[in-house]
Amino acid sequence: MFAERTGYIVWFSDTKAARGLDKYGTLHYVSRKMQYAVLYMNADVAEEAVKNLQKLPYVRKIERSYRNEIKTEYEKDTQDKARFYNL
């Protein structure tokens, strides 16, 4: 149904040139101060796109985002103590 998506953090040296990153995937966020961008792309073309991104002169480093692997289902191990403090 939906294609598997992968996120990458792209560190760059030129903010103006970083606007061209959207042709490699969906540009989600760009930080001008820290000079990085969050880029999402389909997992099946991600490996080839990363190789092409590394060839760009303004790209310093590319890191894979581990957001998909973080546990988002939480369990409540302790009782809710807030109800005991109500008057």
CA distances from 86 to 77, 78, 83 (A): 21, 18, 6
Helix and strand numbers, DSSP H then E, in the chain: 2, 4
Say whether pLDDT at 83 is over 80: no
Confidence of residue 67 (pLDDT cuts 50, 70, 90): confident
For residue range 11-66, list pLDDT tens digits in order: 999 999 888 999 999 999 999 999 999 999 999 999 999 999 999 999 999 999 98
pLDDT of residue 84: 67
C-alpha distance across the termini of the chain, in Å: 51
- Domains, the chain, in order of start with CATH, read 5-69 (3.30.70.80)
Given a cut of 80, whether residue 76 has pLDDT beyond it is no
Q: How far is CA 25 from the centre of its chain?
A: 11
Compare 71 and 48 and report the one with higher pLDDT.
48
Cα 34 to Cα 16: distance, rounded to the nearest angstrom: 14
